Structure 1
Amino acid sequence: MQSDKEKIIRWIEENREQIIEFLQQLVQIPSDNPAGDCLPIASRLHGQLSQMGFEKVSLLEVDPSEVKAAGMLSLANVVAAVAFGDGDGPRIALNAHGDVVPPGLGWSVDPYGGEIRNGKMYGRGVAVSKSDIAAYTYAVQALRQAGVGGKLQGEVDLAFTFDEETGGELGPKWLLERGHIRPDMALVAGFTHAIVNAHNGCLHFEITAIGKSAHAAIPETGIDAVEAMVSILQSLYAYREVLKGKHSTVDGIDHPTLVVGLISGGINTNVVPDVCRCRVDRRLIPEEDPIEAEEEFRRIVESAAAKIDGLEVEIHRVLHAQSFGPVPNDTPIIQALAANWRSLMKDAGELSIHGVPLYTDARHFAAQGIATAMFGAGPRTLEEANGHRADEHVQLEDLIRAVKIVACTLYDLLLNESEG
């Protein structure tokens, strides 16, 4: 078994430049979401996998009306099903997303260049999470090409999706609900220096304060919706302080958060505004009940609005992303990852298995009762990689180490004991 892993690692080292070039090509394909025109990158990836010899590769286009309703322009999912033996064994999905947030300002390099400097590749999405697409692809390719596949039994599905930045409803969830993938276990995009076994949930709300317009010269004849929204926000900011007193028992996750991310309103400078809207992000720790959290949020907003005569308020839930985990450390996929991590990352200190405060597509697998972990290519924290910020980058050595760890983990999980 050890000699098989040595073969896998040797194959990965021999194909190091090919892996890096594959990632570079992905970074050079714009896939900003929004606007969400993601069919081009999906089509390109479908072609790349086919050229690499993957036989069962599907480009699964999503109905345009569903895509439009999700606020995107075009979308398809890419699935490559790889059977080992007769396929009768564990089914493992490897899921990473290729849509990215827009680059924004402040870059010192072309965000779509894939430039390499001092052992790092720079570009939008290189860490979140195009590097995981490369790591997963070449981990499976290593099993196919390194001469060890005959000892394995089961199936691995490369499931690459392109709507994570807008919730993953038409990516992993869509694939699972339609039976395009039926995994027993799932590995979802993450970073090389830790295994993530839990993450926060999230509620997004849109609050609309509806007042009455009036001439700015006689403001007392109107109901100022912006002023009303200020009162509502003051109540929400006070509530945010209360949330800091709730603490999660999951390592890596602290307390619930609340952020007012968008606000708009008014007609003109000389008119009392009759409508004001804001969008609120409310993060849920794994221990929280989302129904109770939503009810609490609504009570706070409605109570603040009730103090203003004539004001109407509407609260619309835009998103509910479920929390994920914590998955027990003795789950087979985490045990296998941890064992290979310790074997291949001896210079990296102690392995951390923890939760993260963001939310990801891992939740869609966990919601189906699928044993799920997050692991991939990247640093210890999102901040180190400048994820969602200018000069996003990934250490190329982390990319290669992630390929090795994932490949050896798949080997362990798929090993046919009668061949071992």
Structure 2
Amino acid sequence: MTDALALNYAQRLISCESVTPAQGAVFDALEDMLKPLGFRVDRFVSGTGDDNPAHGAPVENLFAIRESGGRHFAFAGHLDVVPPGAGWASDPFVPQIKGDLLHGRGAVDMKGSIAAFVAALHEIPADAGTISLIITGDEEGPAIYGTRALIDHMHALGTIPDACLVGEPTSVNRLGDMMKIGRRGSVNMWISVAGTQGHVAYPHLADNPIPKLVAILSEIEAISLDAGTDWFQPSNIEITDLAVGNKATNVIPAKAEARLSIRFNDLQNGEALVARMQELVEKGGGTLTAMISGEAFLTPPGELSAAISEAVEGVMGITPEPSTTGGTSDARFLTKICPVVEFGLCNATMHKLDEAVAIADLTALTEIYRRVAIRMLGS
């Protein structure tokens, strides 16, 4: 039964257009799947009112729980998707089965894994323990009013999970070959150096900001933050933009700007990195602003990663590699309340045209999730 359910649920979710920040129909669909299984479903919108548009508000969130005492195991994910873009072979929000693949935006990132987990719930006894779903409509966007608001909601209810599985697409070459036990932190920085505009023939009457910015960037480029750890690759600083915007050939510009992105491991922290870069930039005559997207985190191998490994080995016959590679996810927020590991579908087509999931992988993932939940609930 769960074989057909996972595919059916994935099709229903994909059919709901839900470009971030998602609201409405896609949450209706998920709620309709969960209520017959005995879940209480709380839905709320965060970030309403006079908010900064850059924050991506308003955002709908869903917290569903089926309580029966015992241990509390949670599944977290997101129903929002990135814009599909032009060039799809078919409508990205009309799921299409072509051969052994299901196509549609969100098939792997991450409506497919949500569908698999809900399908697995049909085979988990209601008295096995407490299960919850932590589902946001804003993971692909700024993530200001998504999972963080859901964590506040759980605190208000006084219900915090003992462990949480995040259904991000972590597999690389085949389902089950990788799980994420941590993620690097991320901080973006903007550097601005002011000068005095003037004619290039009279440089003594102007102040060119470009050499100052180049000197600052040269010093930054020479920094080696660390050599990595047992679980993390070395932290890296990347210059991602350089702009002057001077269209004239005979004018010294009044301002030069650059942008940095730093991905860092657990030897670093965001605030310290910002302070270090700010000191360097101000010494060179510039100003710096920064936004910390998340801190590095690690869930050392333990009960949850062992449960995932055992389930994957039993279903797929392989052992998932514990990894901390890749970008950020909402696990960076959830790790503050309980142990978190990410595991899900193959990520080869996520965010791409004609995103697709193997139907067999939906079936296998459903059984993997069922086994993980049963073990974590202690049944």
The one-letter code sitting in structure 1 at the alignment partner of 2:221 is Y
In structure 1, what is the equivalent of residue 360 of structure 2?
397
Which structure 1 residue ranges, 5 or more long, are not aligned? Answer: 1-10, 307-312
Q: Supply the distance in 1 between the matched residues of 2:339 and 2:122 (Cα, whole angstroms).
A: 23
In structure 2, what is the equivalent of residue 365 of structure 1?
334
Residue 97 (structure 2) pairs with residue 116 (structure 1): yes
In structure 2, what is the equivalent of residue 350 of structure 1?
319
Secondary structure of 1:100's aligned partner: coil
In structure 2, what is the equivalent of residue 212 of structure 1?
196
In structure 1, what is the equivalent of residue 294 of structure 2?
321
Q: 1:389 to 1:220 in 2, by over 3 A?
A: farther
Secondary structure of 1:164's aligned partner: coil
| Structure-to-structure mapping, 1:116-135, within 5 angstroms | 116-135=97-116
Q: Supply the distance in 1 between the matched residues of 2:245 and 2:253 (Cα, whole angstroms).
A: 4
Deviation string 1:14-58 (CA, Å, 9 cap, x unpaired) is xx2x3223223323433334xx3x223554345433665554112
Q: Supply the distance in 1 between the matched residues of 2:102 and 2:211 (Cα, whole angstroms).
A: 47
Match of 1:159 among 119, 122, 134: 134
User: 1:166: Cα distance to partner?
Assistant: 3.5
| Structure-to-structure mapping, 1:181-200, within 5 angstroms | 182-190=160-168, 191=170, 192-193=175-176, 194-200=178-184
Conservation of the 8 A alpha-carbon contact between 1:95 and 1:186? yes
Secondary structure of 1:282's aligned partner: strand
Match of 2:69 among 88, 108, 122: 88
| Structure-to-structure mapping, 1:223-262, within 5 angstroms | 223-226=207-210, 228-239=212-223, 242-243=224-225, 246-250=227-231, 253-262=232-241
The one-letter code sitting in structure 2 at the alignment partner of 1:261 is T
Deviation string 1:48-104 (CA, Å, 9 cap, x unpaired) is 336655541121111314864652142110111112xxx221112210112233334
In structure 2, what is the equivalent of residue 310 of structure 1?
none
Q: Supply the distance in 2 between the matched residues of 1:297 and 1:323 (Cα, whole angstroms).
A: 18
Q: 1:333 to 1:213 in 2, by over 3 A?
A: same
The one-letter code sitting in structure 1 at the alignment partner of 2:185 is G
Secondary structure of 2:371's aligned partner: helix
Q: Supply the distance in 2 between the matched residues of 1:118 and 1:315 (Cα, whole angstroms).
A: 52
In structure 2, what is the equivalent of residue 5 of structure 1?
none
Conservation of the 8 A alpha-carbon contact between 2:75 and 2:133? yes
Q: Supply the distance in 1 between the matched residues of 2:207 and 2:25 (Cα, whole angstroms).
A: 49
In structure 2, what is the equivalent of residue 293 of structure 1?
273
User: 1:155: Cα distance to partner?
Assistant: 1.2
Conservation of the 8 A alpha-carbon contact between 1:91 and 1:155? yes
User: 1:157: Cα distance to partner?
Assistant: 0.9
The one-letter code sitting in structure 1 at the alignment partner of 2:190 is E
Conservation of the 8 A alpha-carbon contact between 2:55 and 2:144? no
The one-letter code sitting in structure 2 at the alignment partner of 1:149 is A
Conservation of the 8 A alpha-carbon contact between 1:235 and 1:301? no
Q: Supply the distance in 2 between the matched residues of 1:48 and 1:282 (Cα, whole angstroms).
A: 41
Q: 1:294 to 1:188 in 2, by over 3 A?
A: same
Conservation of the 8 A alpha-carbon contact between 2:77 and 2:134? yes
Q: 1:121 to 1:280 in 2, by over 3 A?
A: farther
TM-score, normalised to structure 2, is 0.85
In structure 2, what is the equivalent of residue 8 of structure 1?
none
The one-letter code sitting in structure 1 at the alignment partner of 2:300 is P
The one-letter code sitting in structure 2 at the alignment partner of 1:328 is P
Deviates more, 1:92-101 or 1:211-220: 211-220
Residue 377 (structure 2) pairs with residue 414 (structure 1): yes
Secondary structure of 2:24's aligned partner: helix
Q: Supply the distance in 2 between the matched residues of 1:227 and 1:109 (Cα, whole angstroms).
A: 50
Conservation of the 8 A alpha-carbon contact between 2:100 and 2:358? yes
Q: 1:67 to 1:189 in 2, by over 3 A?
A: farther
Conservation of the 8 A alpha-carbon contact between 2:187 and 2:263? yes
Secondary structure of 2:108's aligned partner: helix
Secondary structure of 1:410's aligned partner: helix
Structure in which a larger fraction of residues adopt helix? 1
Q: Supply the distance in 2 between the matched residues of 1:296 and 1:29 (Cα, whole angstroms).
A: 45
The one-letter code sitting in structure 1 at the alignment partner of 2:126 is G
The one-letter code sitting in structure 2 at the alignment partner of 1:177 is D
Match of 1:375 among 319, 328, 343: 343
Q: Supply the distance in 2 between the matched residues of 1:75 and 1:412 (Cα, whole angstroms).
A: 33
Match of 2:311 among 312, 324, 340: 340
Q: Supply the distance in 2 between the matched residues of 1:211 and 1:200 (Cα, whole angstroms).
A: 36
User: 1:235: Cα distance to partner?
Assistant: 3.3
In structure 2, what is the equivalent of residue 4 of structure 1?
none
TM-score, normalised to structure 1, is 0.77
Secondary structure of 1:328's aligned partner: coil
Which structure 2 residue ranges, 5 or more long, are not aligned? Answer: none
In structure 2, what is the equivalent of residue 149 of structure 1?
126
